[in-house]
Amino acid sequence: MDFEITEKMQAIRGMIREFVDRELIPLEPEFTTKEFREMLPVLEEKKRMVKKMELWAPNHPTEFGGMGLDLMEHALVSEELGRSPLGHFVFGCQAPDAGNIEILHKYGTGEQKKKYLRPLVEGKIRSCFSMTEVEMPGSNPVMMDTTAVKDGGDYVINGQKWYSSSADGAEFAIVMAVTNPEAAPYMRASMIIVPCDTPGFNLVRNIPVMGHSGSDYFSHGEILYQNCRVPQENLLGPEGHGFVIAQERLGPGRIHHCMRWIGICNRSFDLMCSRAAKRVISPDGKTLASRQIIQQWVAESAAEIQAARLMTLHAAWKIERFGAKEARDDIGLIKFVVANTMQRVIDRALQVHGGLGMTDDTILAFFFRHERAARIYDGADEVHKSSFAGRLLRTYEKRTVR
Ligand SMILES: Cc1cc2nc3c(=O)[nH]c(=O)nc-3n(C[C@H](O)[C@H](O)[C@H](O)COP(=O)(O)OP(=O)(O)OC[C@H]3O[C@@H](n4cnc5c(N)ncnc54)[C@H](O)[C@@H]3O)c2cc1C
């Protein structure tokens, strides 16, 4: 087993870390207190710098202007970028665009690639992914109310979606809608590309999440599709294959998310240790670092981060080696292990900062608010645990264990 990071990746990670420290972390006080939209001009400038350094779109195909890193390589990049909430956005590999790029690359027609994929990889436009519905359980998405009915050469879409992240300012949405109501449950829905200026595409609001509605890329849209008509050429992949494609979108995307979360853990851990080592808490000059409970949090956090990181890298290796289907269990396990590790580490770091932790003077309060969602999106913890345990326990039905 080889844990060595190649020279190429060491160099790339070093450049990224330096850029994040020098160019992005200083922007965070503005980021946590201003509307995201107001940050766009300065972020565009940073994007130009990243492109000049030839570090743009690390995980996207070279023929469309990305760096073409493989999953393991991008996992290491994602860890570095995750240290700042601005990292992935400024380097052109942010969700949900990253997932949409993957499926457009795999399933898009020549025309769709020209119109949507190229400008998306180039960072000229943004997109959103519109699957979850207000009235239906996202945890069991085969229960879907949104329909796309054929009419002449078009699909006519009707339904109410929410949590379409980054819909505000997006050029197009990839919408999941029922096209084949009579088919088997997992073959009923399709993915359809809907330009956001199509009549009947109504962004009702940016949903207030943890006290903040956000704007532009940092927002979650509620969308009402009312007789929203798009040509049938906008179908992405085969009709009825929406869930099959969504499943594919999740595997590598999970690695990106989990390594981004590890980056958040690393940053929170550094902040925690630095504060503990410097904060004097008694007249004899003793710091928080002298207290056993703080030492325990530090040791537990270090061990938990290391374990979560190795699990994620192993899952990435397995996806590359054997495919997402074979790595299904690993992909499910890392989802809840890393999300919960991150939550514990952020919480401890915030606690060590006391009142300061609750302010926006450090990034911890943002992480605490924003990253709570990690245990819900991409499948809630409980769903991953149940489906993993169900699969595993079934294998024991016929096994003799002594
Ligand atoms: C910040 C954020 C961003 C998101 N971005 C997007 C996006 O870009 N596009 C998109 O389409 N969706 C997005 N979502 C939606 C997300 O995918 C759903 O919220 C998620 O799938 C859960 O669905 P739900 O909210 O309908 O919860 P429900 O399905 O109603 O479940 C509620 C809770 O019930 C429990 N539960 C559910 N099923 C089971 C079970 N089988 N066993 C035990 N307990 C269970 C879980 O604790 C779960 O949290 C986002 C959500 C958040 C919070």
- Ligand 1 geometric centre to CA of 3 (Å): 35
Q: Which residues contact 244 (CB under 8 A, 6 or more apart)?
A: 186, 237
Predicted pLDDT of residue 121: 96
Supply the CATH classification number for the domain 7-121.
1.10.540.10
Predicted pLDDT of residue 250: 76
> What Å distances lie between residue 274 and 22, 71, 266, 296, 343, CA to CA?
18, 32, 12, 15, 19
Predicted pLDDT of residue 215: 97
Domain definitions of the chain by residue range: 7-121, 127-236, 244-396
pLDDT tens readout for residues 152-175: 999 999 999 999 999 999 999 999
The pick from 132, 335, 343, 367 for probing ligand 1's pocket by mutation, whose C-beta has the most ligand atoms within 8 angstroms, reads 132
User: Domain 127-236 in CATH: superfamily?
Assistant: Butyryl-CoA Dehydrogenase, subunit A, domain 2 (2.40.110.10)
Predicted pLDDT of residue 249: 74
User: Ligand 1: which atom is nearest the Cα of residue 96?
Assistant: 8
d(CA 271, CA 265): 10
Determine contact, residues 218/162, Cβ cutoff 8 Å: no
pTM of the model: 0.97
Strands 235-236 and 172-178: unpaired
pLDDT tens readout for residues 60-70: 999 999 999 99
Residue with CA closest to ligand 1 atom 23: 138
Q: Which residues of the chain have pLDDT under 50?
A: none
Determine contact, residues 155/230, Cβ cutoff 8 Å: yes
Predicted pLDDT of residue 354: 98
> Which CATH code of 1.20.140.10, 3.30.1330.10, 1.20.1250.20, 3.40.190.10 fits the domain covering 244-396?
1.20.140.10
Predicted pLDDT of residue 188: 97
Determine contact, residues 252/324, Cβ cutoff 8 Å: yes
